[in-house]
Amino acid sequence: MKRQFTVTPHRPWRHALLAVVALAALVTSGWLLFERGKVQAGYDTQAWIDLESQLRHQILALEGRNADLVRGNAVLQRSADIDRNAYIEVQKALTEAQTVMLALREELSFYRGLVTPSDRIDGLHVERLRLQPTARERRFQYMVTLTQVRKNDRFATGEVDLQVTGARDDQESSYALADLSDAQGVAKFKFKYFQNFEGTIELPDGFVPESVLVEVKPSGKRLQPVSKRFAWKSLLTGGN
């Protein structure tokens, strides 16, 4: 009686792929929960130190998974019976893991600056402006981050507005946030250390944007008004 054998291909890259996908999902879901749970009025310094430690561990874990994927990728490339679809899956997972790791490093650097602002000038700062195109033409999502560097824990209050400047019908034009969104006037702020402002703007037909001016007007005389202008093209290419 002949014995029948079943040959099962050994594909160690699948374990690495599944591990990276699971880890990326964990990092992404954890980051979303963190963003949702931000306290707009201030934060606990120890909490940010704990967050920095967590981000470092996540980056180290992703680096380890990346190394596994690179090794698995090399094996696949050397294999005579290479599975093209499997190779593409590994490449995709590797790219996604590297993208997540880069984003974590950027956020880690940014929030580390908020926790240890000893070398910064006291007062309000327009820390950054992010702009992201949407599926709808001429509509963009924005996020403005304001920070306060103070030697005490007093709240900063006031108003923040955006002015988009450009050209329309060969004439210089400028639009405030209320002109480009459903916002009713300027946005109000109240925070100790930082606060994010997010929303959507839609540009008028025929308008060619050139820059965005963020204006911060604090209440009272304790803090000075600040403003910062961003080139539109640099915002779309990742500059802030």
Highest mean pLDDT among 70-84, 100-114, 223-237: 223-237
Percent of the chain with pLDDT over 90: 29
Q: Which amino acid is at 172?
A: E
pTM of the complete model: 0.56
**Beta pairing class for 194-202 and 139-149:** antiparallel
Least Cα distance to 133 among 227, 236, 4 occurs for 236
Q: Match 């790219």 to its residue by tokens.
A: 95
Q: Where in the chain is the domain with CATH 1.20.58?
A: 12-115
Q: Which CATH architecture has domain 12-115?
A: Up-down Bundle (1.20)
Q: What is the pLDDT of residues 124-174, one digit of tens each?
A: 989 889 999 999 999 999 999 998 887 667 889 999 999 999 999 889 999
Q: Which CATH superfamily is domain 123-236 in?
A: C2 domain (2.60.40.150)
Measured distance CA(101)–CA(58) in Å, rounded: 8
Other CB atoms within 10 Å distance of the CB of residue 180: 23
Give the list of residues 6+ apart from residue 83 with CB closer than 8 angstroms, or none.
11, 76
Through-space distance between the first and last CA atoms of the chain, rounded to whole angstroms: 74
